[in-house]
Amino acid sequence: MQSNSRASTRKRAAKSEPTQVSHQSSLALVVQARRAAYSRYCDVGIRRRHSAGLGFAALPTRGYDRVMFRPVFFVLCCSLSPLLQSQICLAQVRPSPTPPKGVAAIKLEGMMDALMAYPFGQVYSEDINAPNSITHVGKKVADDADDVIPAPPVQQIYNLGQQVAIPLLISHLTDQRPSQAKYHDQPVPVAYLALDLLLHLTDMNDERVVVPGCEQHGLGDCMQPDFYFSPDTSDPNTLASVQKAWMAENHRQPIRLVYPNWWRSGEGTTPAVHSRPSPTSRPQAQ
């Protein structure tokens, strides 16, 4: 009786063993197929990025994925929901929302190079009736008015917005490369052009920069020495000290860009908000 029972048990085990082996083999095939499918899906997306001209972003992702992340990625794809799986793959092939910092920095420095090379000519003097600013250089709207369409490099720097333009200009307050703007027929350093724009394109025309109650209007008159140097200043310590003061002020209270009220666009109009007079020149015609 016992021998019959043992025999029947062995028969049942023998019958169930192929079923278990078959079930395990099927599961392994399913997992392998899903791995291969998601691998192809992500690789196709990476190749599409590369062919679309996004190689700078695709190459590091592709190499990193193949060397380190792919085994872990396959396990996640097999265990997570289909929605999360698709999001993971899309995140690997989605282009970066911003250009690399190196490319952006090169573009910004190119704008400062354009400012340096622009033929502003004789801009600065002790004449109290002279504008004494490159923000007044440009195409005149009318012969009997002071309104101008600003020079392209000046307009481009303003168009960067205060979060980019202000730090860019402050960073060039020690730039002693000669520009095409003149003071006493001598080239003015890029550092003074940057200071000029900080004085005429921002809200820094209050007691922080201008001496309260001062009625003079010549070049450099009424300027607080901590925030100003003359166009012919070449002392690196003076330039660095002024740069430090502007940097500290921008850190304490962010400096705002303000659209000059003497600027006009190509259509002869100017924005109605954030207009302001020049801090270092005579009052402008309205």
Residue 286 lies in a domain: no
Q: How confident is the model at residue 27, as a pLDDT? A: 61
Domain match, 148 and 264 both: yes
Helix 82-93 × helix 2-51 angle, to 10°: 30
End-of-domain residue from the set 93, 116, 147:
93
Find tokens 């003359």 and name the residue. 230
pLDDT mean for each 10 residues of the chain (286 residues): 54 51 59 66 54 46 47 51 49 40 77 96 88 91 83 95 94 96 95 95 84 79 90 95 95 92 67 42 35
What domain count does the chain have? 2
| Cβ atoms within 10 Å of 263's Cβ, excluding its own | 21
Residues whose CB falls within 8 Å of the CB of residue 198, separated by 6 or more in sequence, listed in order = 166, 169, 170, 173, 204, 246, 255
Beta bridge partners of 22: none
Written as one string, the DSSP assignment of 232-282 is T---HHHHHHHHHHHHHHHHHSPPPB-EETTB--TTS---SSSEE--SSSP
Domain match, 8 and 125 both: no
Sign for the CA dihedral angle at 19, 21, 24, 30 comes to negative
Residue 201 lies in a domain: yes
Query: What span, in angstroms and rounded, lies between the C-alpha atoms of 51 and 46?
Result: 9
* 192 contacts 133 by C-beta, under 8 angstroms: no
Domain match, 116 and 27 both: no
Residue 77, both tokens: 């794809």
Helix (H, G, I), strand (E, B) or coil at 99: coil
Helix (H, G, I), strand (E, B) or coil at 114: helix
Residue 70, both tokens: 């792919």
State phi, psi for 188 to the nearest 5 degrees. Answer: -95, 135
* 158 contacts 258 by C-beta, under 8 angstroms: no
Domain match, 270 and 131 both: yes
Domain match, 110 and 80 both: no
Domain match, 147 and 255 both: yes
Domain match, 13 and 151 both: no
Domain match, 264 and 195 both: yes
Residue 284 lies in a domain: no
Q: How confident is the model at residue 44, as a pLDDT? A: 53
Residues whose CB falls within 8 Å of the CB of residue 143, separated by 6 or more in sequence, listed in order = none
Query: What span, in angstroms and rounded, lies between the C-alpha atoms of 53 and 101?
Result: 18
Query: What span, in angstroms and rounded, lies between the C-alpha atoms of 68 and 38?
Result: 16
End-of-domain residue from the set 27, 61, 93:
93
End-of-domain residue from the set 28, 63, 93:
93
Domain match, 118 and 241 both: yes
The DSSP H or E segment spanning 34 is helix 2-51
Residue 215 lies in a domain: yes
Domain of residue 128 covers 101-276
> At residue 220, what is the residue type?
G
Residue 285 lies in a domain: no
| Cβ atoms within 10 Å of 85's Cβ, excluding its own | 19
Query: Which of 259, 279, 278, 277 is CA-nearest to residue 269?
Result: 259
Domain match, 109 and 46 both: no
Domain match, 70 and 184 both: no
Q: How confident is the model at residue 105, as a pLDDT? A: 76
pTM: 0.59
Domain match, 210 and 271 both: yes
Residue 272 lies in a domain: yes
Residue 281 lies in a domain: no
Residue 134 lies in a domain: yes
Q: How confident is the model at residue 152, as a pLDDT? A: 95
